[in-house]
Amino acid sequence: MNGVEALLVLAHPDDAEFAAAGTVARWTREGKQVVYLVCTNGNKGTIDRTLDPADLAAVREQEQKAAANILGVKEVAFLHYPDQGLEDTPEFRKQIVRNIRKYKPRIILTSDPYRRYIGHRDHRIAGQVALDAVYPYARDHLAYPDLLDQGLEPHRVEEIWFWGSEERTYFSDITDTFDLKIAALECHRSQVGHRDLTMLREGMKKRFRQNAAEQSFDLAEVFHRVIIGY
């Protein structure tokens, strides 16, 4: 297959909608293909003590599919690790490498593993393992050579964008796609349904307007962008 524009490596269902959905919607509007790779099932992400973790995981998977559909993302892959259960293991890294070689993205988007102090451990590990998968494992044919037997040839990712970074280097214009971002985020009822959605919308608009304060557009998602030189 021809490569996609971007593969998002997400620790949890809803990470993409909070961090990058406006950018994703802009790309799909331009006819570019975007794929989600969701690493955990989100089965601990609730304040409801009556909710069974397996039921929550099933709900969150459907919420993620609905949100992706709004954004024009036609393919969502799930690894089904337990929430709060990601570890930096060869098998996890191999799964990400497999998906990089399968979809051949130009860009990887994921969480910044180097954010200091307070941060979700799954986010740190997903970002670090995705970074390692990009370089050197997805590139080198002798890394996981059995993948070659599956027709998964090495692939060189051109760029990796980190969200949640303390060092912001790229400002992505989401002025025209902010409404789609919010609509997709609202699909995650298990996560935002208990909140005042009007206040959530206005709070996010304020934050993304602040992000774009020195830009030529009104609203921005922000990333640390790394252009990979092989």
The CATH number covering residue 77 comes to 3.40.50.10320
pTM: 0.95
- The boundaries of the domain holding residue 117 are 6-227
Residue 1 placed within a domain = no
Over residues 114-136, the pLDDT tens digits come to 999 999 999 999 999 999 999 99
Number of domains in the chain: 1
Across all residues in the chain, what is the average pLDDT?
Answer: 96
Do 111 and 15 meet the contact criterion of CB atoms below 8 Å apart?
Answer: yes
pLDDT at position 1 is 58
Residue 195 pLDDT: 87
The sign one gets for the Cα dihedral 225, 4, 155, 92 is positive
What is the arithmetic mean of pLDDT over 5-25? 98
Cα distance between residue 189 and residue 16, in whole Å:
15
Contacts of 58 (CB under 8 A, 6+ apart): none
Q: Please report whether residue 162 resides in a domain.
A: yes
Structure tokens at 187: 């699909």
How far apart (Å, rounded) are the C-alpha atoms in residues 59 and 190?
8
Residue among 57, 58, 63, 104 nearest 83 (CA): 57
Pairing label, strands 220-227, 170-173: antiparallel
pLDDT band at 86; cut points 50, 70, 90: very high
Would 94 be classed as within a structural domain?
yes
Residue with tokens 């809803």: 14
87-113 pLDDT per residue, tens: 999 999 999 999 999 999 999 999 999
Rounded CA separation 103/223 (Å):
22
Residue 136 included in any domain? yes
Confidence of residue 230 (pLDDT cuts 50, 70, 90): confident
- Please indicate, yes or no, if residue 168 is contained in any of the structural domains: yes
* Predicted pLDDT of residue 71: 98
**Residue 122: partners with Cβ closer than 8 Å, 6 or more residues away:** 11, 12, 39, 40, 83, 84, 85, 86
Residue 225 token pair: 């962008």
Q: What is the pLDDT of residue 193?
A: 87
